[in-house]
Chains A and B, each alone.
Chain A
Amino acid sequence: MSEAVTVTREIVAKYKGREGVLTHILQDIQGRFGYLPPEAMEVVAEEMGVSLAELYGMASFYARFYFAPRGKTVIKVCRGTACHVRGSERVLAKFSEELGLKEGETSPDLSFTLEAVNCVGCCALAPVVMINEKVFTASDPGKLLAALRQGENRDQDH
């Protein structure tokens, strides 16, 4: 039995018998794995007596759940109106090119995930990127990336 299955069974057991706990269960699973592994979802559906479709429907309703593993560094390019006006399209294209990832993709070594998001509420800083939940002005994506990579190397040195 895979780890996802065993862990999920334990998580579900903790909540079973209570009402309205599905999101908590999913949150705990994501907390463990960083995303919602398909085998885990099957266990939840089976044990909680909901269909897999309903479970995915519910989970996908919340933007905070992920269905595939995510990179160590998550880059979210804002595509809101203000950022759009300030050239977010170009920013996304640049990241995409540099990382070799399309929007929504994660690099195979799980180092980067590239995403496009709606207005993150910091329009004054447009064009905005969020890197692991920190907000930056992405006037020069190349520079940002270089800094990131350097930071990563430093991490590894330690």
Chain B
Amino acid sequence: MAGMVTLTIDGREVTVPEGTTILHAAEALGIEIPHLCYCPGLEGTGACRLCVVEVEKVRGLVVACMRRVAEGMVVHTNTPRVREARKFVLELLLSRHPGLCLSCDKSGDCKLQQYAYELGIKRPFFEVRDPGYEVKDDLFIVRDYNLCILCGRCIRVCRTQGADILDFMKRGIETRVGTPLDRPLLESGCDFCGSCVSVCPTGALMEKARLGKGREWELEKVPSRCSYCGAACELNYHLRRGEIVKVSSPRPVAYLCARGRFGYGYLQSGERLTTPLVRRGGELVPVDWDEALSLVAENLHQARERYGAEGVGGILSPLVSCETAYAFQKFFRAGLRTNNVDCGLRVGAGLELLRHADAVTGGPEGYASWKDVLEANVILLVGDVCQRVPATWGYLKRAVGRGAKLIYLGFYKDRPARLAHVWLQALPGEEPLVLARLAWLILQKPTYRTLAERVPYFASFAEEVERLARVEVSVPEENLARAAELWSEEARGVLLLPVDGVSPATGKAALNLLLLTGRREKALFPTSAFVNAQGVWRLGGVAEFFPGLRPVSEAASEFAAFWGRVPNGTPGLSLTAMLRPGSPVKALYLLGEDPLGSYPGSGSIAAKLGELDFLVVQDLTLTKTAEKAHVVLPLASLPETGGTIIATHGEKHHLSSALSPRILMPWQVFALLAAKMNLELNLSAQELLLNEIKAVTPEFGLVPAERKLGFWELGEVGPGRGDSQLKLTALAFYPSFYRQDWLKLSGLEVLLPYEGNFVALSPEEELEEGAVVEVSTPYGAFTTRVHLDKALPRGVAAVPAFSPAAAALFPLEAPWGSVPASIARA
């Protein structure tokens, strides 16, 4: 067979692709060759020589993790000579390993220990040397380089998917791993992705919170997924008596960002609500479930009677499971007969752009996968994707490592800017202009023009592009030309678009580029900052669709059959409409959403909340919004409820309940409410809900979408270059997240300057670090601190996305555009 090689390992024949290492070939036969410096998923370096094997007709021993197979090779992995050599290597390593397995937290999970056992090393052969290094007590991570065997895995993984802040320092006997000038990790710009801890074969790198909490065999390992962003990375919770003591990734190099790996504190925080609260004499006081739910049932009923379907509404979080979302919307649509149910994905253009995305790709089946990202020839990255969905960073880096050309469109000079072949540094607001300009450049090529002429709305598209291309932008001409060239000429192209983090015009202009170059399938990777945005909107969590994306106005009778109650056939109000002062909503139920804490437009939202007759908030903790509620109900988190989620790129996952909740499950709450209101809704068990979802939409809403064939019109777009007004944007700074309170409860806010309360400015502006300033926009004013950031161009200010500053300074309708702002010393 061409490209295949047959060899014999320990007497068994195996055929593997050319270029395979002996170590991998052995693996294919189920033979594990001991290895320390080699780590699956990282390039080998051949440093430790533990993996040596004997190859017939080769004189010396051969390093199995580096040596490629050859036809007819005969390999022996376990001869006395091999074992002697390995023992020698291990003895040398142990001679500078002053650790004591008896009391080491790594015991049971340590490769050094494992191999020492397997090779039967009873007592150290060489004298053990203790280097006497000081143990480094960093945030989340403890580094004890006395136990380090210099395998270099941490360095390589940090280079591949971390912040690239580690290397070998000094040389010879003094060699050790370190950061520049040996600074603490936080000061060195560490991401706290914990990848280094994950790959370290010894106890040198450990999760701080895990120390002293029991050893590997005492911990219960529960597989789950991260419940922050749409990447929904796979992870394991390691529990001791029900408490999370560490989080690990399924494979050593499988990526988790700081939120996934260290951000679990909010789940077991003392702030978690355990009992309902009701407002009495202005105070929230604890009561039992029965009393609280009676009050909720009574008030919802009254509002429904008095104000009709329009008078009640529910807003749910895109961070809950499909089953929870389904039950919640059913309670409203079938129970209260209102379609006023909507979710946080509505904020900005998330929902609109996801629908457009489906119209381009023909549905989630047509989305690009991580594999498509890795195998792309050209990648167009828009905005702050890597901060919103940090898992993208490792994939991008690997893709570029494999030869992909990266085009980065964004004003912020962060890592993608360094990795990019072309950096299109558009100022905030200029993005759609730059994208339109690329379209114009591509249209100059006759082949593309002919192709595009066949796409509906070509005439208006060409005209709009023609007009917008004339507006001057800050990106140099040659960069535009280069990007247009790459995007049109390279074979496989993938667009990474943060659907819920760009303005609608930017999103549409980017999608137009896909259409223009005929890239419909496997070319769009939509990223959402919310773990189950895809599941929630597809299962009835947005006003205009019943589960399965059935339009409300068409599907009422269909759902009457499923639900045994005729739902309302009038489309409901969107979240933006519900939260607008003067809206008809008088009783509002917020499930896992904290509009006062995480939505833009907090000023007008507060005014609307003040108008309500009744507000019930169900959440993990007493949030800013909950403090204003009439009734507060505890909410079980996603790791507690388990259930189905759909990741940002359309992959469906079923999670078991990883943590035991000490409170009612959300659907149990809705079931009790329904019972109190004499509604038969069948909400009492997750199993029931799952079966019902399967009956209603067997595809879980992952249905093919009707292809909208034409180009999108961009509408109003920014003024372009030359306007001297300071532009303010909300930018995701790693590890910014929608629920800032989760970061805070998990101790992650310290990764942000001033714990996330700042306005970032270029050092070229006339203000100094830490200055207290008042930032004003047409939507509000906010007092905060200046953080000087070299990555920002002059004339641009940024506040962290989802921060109180962003909430005060941007409108609910348009949070991701740029607004004119002024900054003055406070």
B179 interface residue per 8 A CB criterion: yes
In whole Å, how far is A121's beta carbon from the nearest beta carbon of chain B? 16
Contact present for A61 and B159 (CB under 8 Å): no
Contact present for B167 and A57 (CB under 8 Å): yes
State the CA gap A49–B417 with chains docked (Å).
12
Task: Describe B's contact surface by its main secondary structure.
Answer: mixed
State the CA gap A91–B354 with chains docked (Å).
74
Partner of B171, one of A51, A52, A61: A61
Contact present for A60 and B159 (CB under 8 Å): no
State the CA gap A148–B452 with chains docked (Å).
83
A78 interface residue per 8 A CB criterion: no
Contact present for B170 and A60 (CB under 8 Å): yes
CB neighbours (8 Å) of A54 from chain B are: 164, 167
Near A by CB (< 8 A), chain B positions 156-178 give: 158-159, 164-171, 178
CB neighbours (8 Å) of A55 from chain B are: 180
Near A by CB (< 8 A), chain B positions 140-170 give: 155, 158-159, 164-170
Near A by CB (< 8 A), chain B positions 167-212 give: 167-171, 178-181, 188
CB neighbours (8 Å) of B165 from chain A are: 51-53
State the CA gap A53–B183 with chains docked (Å).
11
Near B by CB (< 8 A), chain A positions 25-84 give: 38, 41, 49, 51-57, 60-61, 67
In whole Å, how far is B421's beta carbon from the nearest beta carbon of chain A? 13
Contact present for A56 and B180 (CB under 8 Å): yes
Task: Describe A's contact surface by its main secondary structure.
Answer: helix
CB neighbours (8 Å) of B188 from chain A are: 53
In whole Å, how far is A106's beta carbon from the nearest beta carbon of chain B? 15
In whole Å, how far is A149's beta carbon from the nearest beta carbon of chain B? 32
CB neighbours (8 Å) of B168 from chain A are: 57, 61
Question: Which A residue sits closest to B189, measured CB to CB?
Answer: A52
Interface string of B377-420 (1 = CB under 8 A from A): 00000000000000000000000000000000000000000100
Partner of B181, one of A49, A56, A61: A56
Contact present for B171 and A53 (CB under 8 Å): no
Question: Which A residue sits closest to B171, measured CB to CB?
Answer: A61
Partner of A56, one of B155, B159, B167, B418: B167
Contact present for A57 and B181 (CB under 8 Å): no
State the CA gap A54–B155 with chains docked (Å).
10
CB neighbours (8 Å) of B179 from chain A are: 53
Contact present for A41 and B170 (CB under 8 Å): no
Contact present for B169 and A56 (CB under 8 Å): yes
State the CA gap A137–B722 with chains docked (Å).
71
Contact present for A61 and B164 (CB under 8 Å): no
CB neighbours (8 Å) of A56 from chain B are: 167, 169, 178, 180-181
State the CA gap A41–B179 with chains docked (Å).
13
State the CA gap A57–B177 with chains docked (Å).
9
Find the residue from A55, A57, A61, A67 having the highest chain B CB count within 10 A: A57
Question: Which A residue sits closest to B763, measured CB to CB?
Answer: A1
CB neighbours (8 Å) of B155 from chain A are: 53
CB neighbours (8 Å) of B178 from chain A are: 56
Beyond A51-B165, A52-B165, A67-B181: 5 further Cβ-contacts under 8 Å?
A: A49-B418, A51-B159, A55-B180, A57-B169, A61-B170
Enumerate chain A interface residues (CB-CB to B < 8 A): 38, 41, 49, 51-57, 60-61, 67
Q: Can you list 25 A-B contacts with CB-CB less than 8 angstroms, sorted by A residue number? A: A38-B181, A51-B159, A51-B165, A52-B165, A53-B155, A53-B158, A53-B164, A53-B167, A53-B180, A53-B188, A54-B164, A54-B167, A55-B180, A56-B167, A56-B169, A56-B178, A56-B180, A57-B167, A57-B168, A60-B169, A60-B170, A60-B171, A61-B168, A61-B171, A67-B181
Instruction: Return the 7 tightest CB-CB contacts between A and B, nearest first.
Output: A57-B167, A53-B167, A56-B180, A51-B164, A60-B169, A52-B180, A61-B171
